[in-house]
Amino acid sequence: MLEIDLCGIKLKNPLILASGVIGSFSSSLNDIARDAGAVVTKSVGIKGREGYRNPSVVNWRCGLLNAVGLASPPAESFAEELRSFNKTSPLIVSLYGNRQEDLSKMVEIFSMADAFELNLSCPHVKGAGMDIGKDIELSCEIVKALKSETDKPVIAKLSAMHDYVELAKSLEKAGADAIAISNTLPGMKIDIVSRKPILSNISGGVSGPAIKPIALKCVFDLYKVLKIPVIGCGGISNFEDVLEFIMAGAKAVQIGSAVYFSKRIFYSLKESLVAFCRANNCKISDLVGVAHS
Ligand SMILES: Cc1cc2nc3c(=O)[nH]c(=O)nc-3n(C[C@H](O)[C@H](O)[C@H](O)COP(=O)(O)O)c2cc1C
């Protein structure tokens, strides 16, 4: 009822853990993988990064604001950690980087990955993430470089801040197997007592319910112009949100900030979707894009 095929990979349901929110430990991924259709790791680069000083994550009224700064261990140590991933759902390793030789090494290092996600959209690290996605030509080169190193599916993760329709169409031509949209969107918060920005990096990325209508429109727009699957991400916190994204055209969805508030979210979403499909006598895959007709 909830099973889907995503770029040739069988998922028990369309609910995927979004990159980064639960950090870089296998034990946390293992908990989530029991109920999720797939899990995406924290983004990793060949060298590893310390990230920004605390405060780096702020919980506010409509979601989270974070500037973690792509903090992650070096690829080799992260791969060692991932050896204890229990494989109860497919593993998607999120990569950042733009040099062919780094991507090539990371494909080899992360041999346990079922697919790769390319982070072209992190809003708070200069020269990585969103800065790369702004350059359509460079983004296509990176996708081509990664595709030339692996037969596994490559998902390009974009931002609603990009010229996302043009970028996604070009990435499809360059060989991307799916598009995930959106990453967090740039934002900030000020502490009125100290009269200073709260995040040590001053600004960061907004996630959670605040960005849901924006991400939903991105999915709707991309479904119209792409042949490859679209994965919706942004502000999903209940099963109605999941259904909206699927009806807008998402083959699968990613859930990030909601996990911060409840580790059981995948279980409850899954159960609610089964109940919805039973009541409507349909499979989840029957609903992809129905809002367009
Ligand atoms: C604390 C935190 C860390 C994140 N780290 C990453 C990351 O390493 N790579 C990435 O592509 N996205 C990262 N994201 C973005 C999420 O994967 C997701 O795209 C975004 O939060 C929107 O989804 P949500 O509203 O369900 O949280 C991070 C988000 C948060 C809140």
122: annotated active-site residue: yes
pLDDT at 122 (0 to 100): 73
Low-confidence ranges of the chain (pLDDT < 50): none
pLDDT at 154 (0 to 100): 98
Asked if 237 and 209 count as a contact pair (C-beta separation under 8 A), the reply is yes
DSSP 284: G
The pTM (predicted TM-score) of the whole model is: 0.97
Helix, strand and coil percent figures for the chain, each rounded to 5? 35, 20, 40
Tens-place pLDDT, residues 144-156: 999 999 999 999 9
Tens-place pLDDT, residues 127-172: 667 778 889 999 999 999 999 999 999 999 999 999 999 999 999 9
DSSP 141: H
Distance between CA atoms of residues 147 and 48, nearest Å? 22
Asked if 150 and 112 count as a contact pair (C-beta separation under 8 A), the reply is no
pLDDT at 229 (0 to 100): 98
Q: Please name which of 31, 29, 26, 25 lies closest in space to residue 39, comparing C-alpha atoms.
A: 29
pLDDT at 98 (0 to 100): 84
Lining ligand 1 with CB less than 6 A are 18-21, 42-43, 57, 64, 66, 68, 70, 94, 119, 122, 157, 183-184, 207-208, 211, 233-236, 255-258
Asked if 207 and 159 count as a contact pair (C-beta separation under 8 A), the reply is no
Domains and CATH numbers, the chain: 4-292 (3.20.20.70)
Q: Which helix (H) or strand (E) holds 198?
A: none
